[in-house]
Amino acid sequence: MPVIKDAVCSLCGSLCDDITVTVENNKITKIENACILGHSKFVGMLEHDRIETPMIRKNGELIPVSYEEAIEAAAKILVNSKRTLSYGWCSTSCEAVSGAIQLAEETGSVIDSTANVCHGPTALAAQEKGSPSATLGEIKNRADVIIFWGCNPVHAHPRHMVRYSSFSKGLFTEKGRKGRKMIVIDVRRTDTAKLSDKYVEIEQGSDLLLVTALRSIVNGHEDVIPETVAGVPKAEVIELAETLMNAKFVCIFFGMGVTQSRSKYKNGDAMSSLISDLNQHTKAVMIGMRGHYNVTGFGQVATWETGFPMAIDFARGYPYYNPGETGANDILVREEPDAAIIAAADPGAHFPQKAVRHLAKIPVIQIDPYPNPTTEIADVVIPAAVVGIEAEGTAYRMDAISLRMKKLIDSKFKTDEEIVKDLTAKVRELKRGA
Amino acid sequence: MQIVKLSLKEANKIPIEADNINPDNFAGKTEEDIKTIPVWYGNGQYPLGDFFNVKVEGSDSVENVKLVFEGDVARVKRIGQNMSAGEIEINGNVDMHCGFGMKGGKIIINGDADSWLGCEMTGGEIILNGNASYYVGSGYRGEACGMRGGKITVNGNARDYLGEHMCGGEILVKGNVGLLPAISNNGGKIIIEGNATMPANEMKNGMVIIKGEVSDLLPSYKEEGTEEIEGTVYRKLVGDVNVGGKGVLLIR
Amino acid sequence: MSEILIKNASVCDPAQRINCETMDICIKDGKIVESVSANAKVINAEGRLTMAGGFDGHTHSAGKINVGRFINPNDSRKNLVPGLSGQVARTEKTRAQVGYNTPNTYAIGYRYAKLGYTTICEAAIPLLAARHTHEEFKEIPILDKMGLSLFGSNWQVMEYIRDKEPEKLAAYVAWGLRASRGYGIKIVNPGGGEAWGWGKNVSGLYDPVPNFDVTPAEILMSLAEVNERLKLPHSVHVHCNNLGKPGNYATTIETMKLFEKVKPSRDRQALHVTHVQFNAYAGTSWRDFETGAPMVADYINGANHLTFDLGQIIFGPAVTMTADGPVEYANARMMHEKWSNQDIELEDASGVVPLFYSPKSFVNAVQWAIGLELALLVKDPWKVMFTTDSPNGGSFVNYPEAFTYLMSAKRREEVISGFSKMALDRMVLPGIDRELDFYELAIMTRSIQSKMYSRPEKGNLKPGSDADIAIYDILPGKIDPSTEYEKMKKAFSGAAYTLKDGEIVVKDGEIEATPKGKIYWVNAKVPSAIDSAMQKDIDVKFRKYYTVSKANYMVEDVYLQKPVEITTEGVF
């Protein structure tokens, strides 16, 4: 009975790499160390419906076909397209991402990741001010003040606080939670807030006002602060700033509450500046709480292969980047794409109505292990092995540390990496024929 | 004088990239020459004549060239990119990056403009008789400097991030603007006759006047008395203190 | 069996003391050989300058550079060196390219090859993030690659030094090289990375590292001892303390002196000091800042235990990236620039900051002069490796421009004429009339690297060596580099031919083929008893302090493209 140790959990951006998996007769029978979300991914995979076979839509119905037929149909869609959107690629391996980028380059497509609807603004913020960060172990070993801002790890990253942050113990943090101050800033009292030493409730969309006020205080301009900022009394803002300045090591973990609230990337932009200002007094860093397990990996691979982390338009044969113009939603809402390839993502469920309506009108190729609302509008459906369970490959944790995901059990399905390779080969063949 | 009239043969969804469509590139050219100028459409390049009806009257040097777009070009990007002289008149809505990097001449838009109007322009004038979208007079992603010179007049409203990273020139908006106008600017002048939210964040230098209402003033400005301009008394705010800014923000 | 005969090459190969002599070069199966059959494909060099493929021994081309790309999307469209920068659409042979200082991986491979370079050494691999470096290596075409692993602020290293456990320290370093698939020991601002964990820095060689009770001098000496004990192919590669600070030349000389007592275990230097331009500053502040190059060069002229590289700056935009975290924070604050930081748990720090070198800034002008002064005042070119610490001092695509500075006093005068009086008063360059010849340039760009890194098959054209060859459109003897520098620059910017392992990869300045390069890494053997004892200690580190497990820390074989394992036997 094989027991696989130190498996990497491919659920969230925490990428816990201490999972023990027992496999019997090519079935996962026991999971140790995973959180409830991770556990349900490892085990739930067996209970969950799978896309059982490649399919092509004919007369409105998805008809089972061979991989070969599906790949050929997909390739035909791509070579006939003037503007393909390739979207998703965050719940898969870096190797698959690399293949997808090459395919996008060869077909003059736009390629974008799910960051388009979550931490995309984090990249835009970094492009304004940089990204003052550290690996998670730095927080574990040093941080005495931790802020969770607009994020709720209790539900979204269940083991984060134990492995990396609030409750973790390290060389200079032997007391763990007792030796740390944990602050939560949010618009509602989340379950994470309930565990904190200090909860600061702010008005919806006012993150930038509070960050700016903190900066003003840290930089010695307390006088310019009005009586309340973001719904928080001035005295409380000053107290918060002093807590940060008097800390030995501060980390701000921020989530979609920051990146997707009113002033979007300007919140992260200002937060980077706050971190820089704080370093005049203490040590401070910030880390984005990335959701999909390899959304960071997409950004890394895309950046080294194209120069940009997302929203890359290959129309002219070289990469062009301009979120707001070349993002998945940007072009869908404008009804630009005449074809789409969607992998390991579900815009059918997560995109605005207008974008989904356009997707429904154009040929859509879906690559995914599981059926989802996108399957309903797909014209070619290609089932894939589950990366991290049925396929190996690289993923990047939220702090940009890469880990190798293991293959735990065999699968009859092709991997994303193989599918993309086959598709690229077929596209080349069709182009040569033409 | 050389007048070039362009009208789309049919409306398009996939944008045409018109960085070759400007007076500099059209001056002295015949109808046939102009029709063969390549433009990008999706992942391919095609002659301009595939998409546009082209009519040329006269032939002249660039400063005497006028391009007239008849009807909507809401999916034609980068019209007037890098133009140095001459005039473009657009009788309809226009797509993104109109007047990008413009150095001189004039663009008049009788319609709405999509984002990045006058992005990184250094000279010349843009008059928009309609509404503008995001990033009027800003810079490309990651750049420290957006608009450096020239003037943009928006006779309607503008959306967020107007004049982001602006380093010079002037923007006048007759209507309201969205979030964070004049963010991270380092020079130039912005006048907003309507309302604005969170103006002049991290302004290092320059002048911003807001005649309408200001929502959510950022807590990083010092109040330094008042200033009177054309008979109106404004509160004078100086900052942004967090960047050691010497910018002036005048609000009512 | 593929054979090539390069006829009528004007060969400049300092390793064989050949100085622009016309001769033929025979190639068989990727290696240089004595002779080939009559079936060999013939390349007629027509008397053009022919050297071994260039070898950049210190460049930031994989890993941290990705942060540079990430925060500077605006670099993508910079086309300051046409043909070697900017946006280039894909072709049937090449992937799409973007960028100038932080080009994408494909562009790095193509552009180095166009310059006639065939091997690069990535200057800093954080152990924990090594997998990332190798992922990028895989996507850099054509070039052979190696990288130096960071050990200078590592907890386990400092603890073994403090506890006087030299054998375990050696075992740990050997393990770290294996884990990261590194080629040698890189030490950046020894101890400074750990201090930066608390937002602090160390101030010099004898300033103890907070909480670890060791000094930078002890870190340097202990790692040097390990380096020689393990008989590593390269010496320790040191980025000195106090980088970028006026007055730091004293720290640099002091560091060099420390190594006089180190006995190299192989036929190479005992110490390599990197990007010395940034560490050869005199004065006490930016107000009285001036060149410290004469003092540093004087010392180096009297020493024979070390090599160094320049870190020459190029005017225009650059992107600084280093494991020296505190330096980057100071840069960002001083220049109001973007600041990226990435501290690596238990190991080191790092930062990335874009900046602009302007000839109008007196500080930048003096920095520019210091790099050249070092190259020209140090008499023996076998001590000098040419670098811009790309892209810290400027992108590698500017090497041909920099070569003109080294080879033409007239070209230097032209640049200097734009400097302020204040700048001129703080430098000695205007008084230097030395001009390098092709032979000396070849030493600094390929021959010294072969010796420094103990890669006898690289950087020379001896039979048996790799057939990595550059042919430039220059007729030695018929060109005066001193006056015809524009012509020379053009020739160095796009090789007439670049051969990689005997395959034509560049012809007339354009990419012909894009084979995959090799990865060199060092496996230093350690007695198993010592290794086991060390493993117990690091098991504790992983259990208590790291956030990844030990099993997932090691870079797996799958990440190494065409690996070449260099084994050494340590002395215990």
Say which DSSP state C556 is in: P
Residues B76 and B140 in one domain: no
| CATH code for the domain of C273 | 3.20.20.140
Write the CA distances from C426 to C39, C279, C288, C422, integer angstroms: 60, 16, 9, 7
**pLDDT per residue over C325-341, tens digit each?**
999 999 999 999 999 99
Write the CA distances from A160 to A178, A286, A290, C345, integer angstroms: 17, 15, 11, 16
**pLDDT per residue over C474-532, tens digit each?**
999 999 999 999 999 999 999 999 999 999 999 999 999 999 999 999 999 999 999 99
> Among residues 331-360 of chain C, which lie with CB inside 8 Å of chain B?
336
With respect to residue C300, please indicate whether it lies within any of the assigned structural domains. yes
Write out the residue range of the structural domain in which residue C319 sits.
51-71+93-511
Which pLDDT belongs to residue A176? 97
Say which DSSP state C36 is in: -
Helices (H), A150-202: 153-156, 160-163, 191-194
**pLDDT per residue over A400-434, tens digit each?**
999 999 999 999 999 999 999 999 999 999 999 86
* The total number of structural domains that make up chain C: 1
* A119, pLDDT greater than 80: no
Which pLDDT belongs to residue A47? 62
Last residue of a domain, one of B58, B77, B111: B111
With respect to residue C399, please indicate whether it lies within any of the assigned structural domains. yes
Total length of chain C: 572
Burial of B30 (0-12, 13-18, 19+ CB in 10 A): exposed
Last residue of a domain, one of B78, B111, B144: B111
**pLDDT per residue over C211-226, tens digit each?**
999 999 999 999 999 9
Up-side HSE of residue B14: CA atoms within 13 Å toward CB?
20
Chain B positions in Cβ-Cβ contact with residue A232 (cut-off 8 Å): none
pLDDT (mean) for C49-77? 97
Type of residue at A325: E
Chain A positions in Cβ-Cβ contact with residue C549 (cut-off 8 Å): 6, 17-18
Quote the pTM value: 0.97
* C261, pLDDT greater than 70: yes
**What mean pLDDT, rounded, does chain A reach?**
95
Which of C235-273 are b and which e, b meaning 16 or more Cβ less than 10 Å from the residue's Cβ?
bbbbbbbbbbbbebbebbbbbbebbeebebbbebbbbbb
With respect to residue C109, please indicate whether it lies within any of the assigned structural domains. yes
Chain B positions in Cβ-Cβ contact with residue A273 (cut-off 8 Å): 202, 242
Domain ranges of chain A: 3-43, 50-117+293-433, 120-288
Last residue of a domain, one of B111, B129, B156: B111
**pLDDT per residue over C102-153, tens digit each?**
999 999 999 999 999 999 999 999 999 999 999 999 999 999 999 999 999 9
With respect to residue C226, please indicate whether it lies within any of the assigned structural domains. yes
Q: Cβ contact (<8 Å) for A307 and C99?
A: yes
Which pLDDT belongs to residue C279? 98
Q: Cβ contact (<8 Å) for A216 and B219?
A: yes
Picking from C103, C135, C547, the nearest residue to A137 by CB comes out as C547
Which pLDDT belongs to residue A433? 84
Task: State which residue of chain B sits closest to A274, comparing Cα positions.
Answer: B242
Angstroms from C71 CA to nearest CA on chain B? 7
Residues B106 and B14 in one domain: yes
* The total number of structural domains that make up chain B: 2
Residue A218 near residue A281 (C-beta atoms within 8 A):
yes
Interior angle at CA A297, CA A292 and CA A298, nearest 5: 85
Kindly provide the residue ranges of all beta strands, DSSP E only, lying in C142-211, ordered along the sequence. Answer: 144-150, 184-188
Write out the residue range of the structural domain in which residue B158 sits.
118-252
Interface predicted TM-score (ipTM) over 0.90: yes
Residues B199 and B241 in one domain: yes
CA-only gyration radius of chain B, Å: 19
* A370, pLDDT greater than 90: yes
Residues B89 and B200 in one domain: no
* C93, pLDDT greater than 80: yes
**pLDDT per residue over A288-300, tens digit each?**
999 889 999 999 9
Work out the percent of chain C whose per-residue pLDDT is above 70. 100
Burial of A37 (0-12, 13-18, 19+ CB in 10 A): middle
Q: Cβ contact (<8 Å) for C199 and A128?
A: no
**Assigned CATH topology for domain A120-288:** Dimethylsulfoxide Reductase; domain 2 (3.40.228)
Whether domain A50-117+293-433 has CATH 3.40.50.2300: no
Residues B145 and B163 in one domain: yes
Which of B1-17 are b and which e, b meaning 16 or more Cβ less than 10 Å from the residue's Cβ?
ebbbbbbbeeebebbbb
* A45, pLDDT greater than 70: no
Which pLDDT belongs to residue A348? 83
**What mean pLDDT, rounded, does chain B reach?**
97
Q: CB of C197 within 8 Å of any CB in chain A?
A: yes
Residues from B in contact with A at Cβ < 8 Å? 13-15, 17, 40-44, 75, 96, 115-116, 134-135, 140-142, 179-180, 183-184, 198, 201-202, 216, 218-222, 239, 241-242
Residue C305: strand pairing partners: none
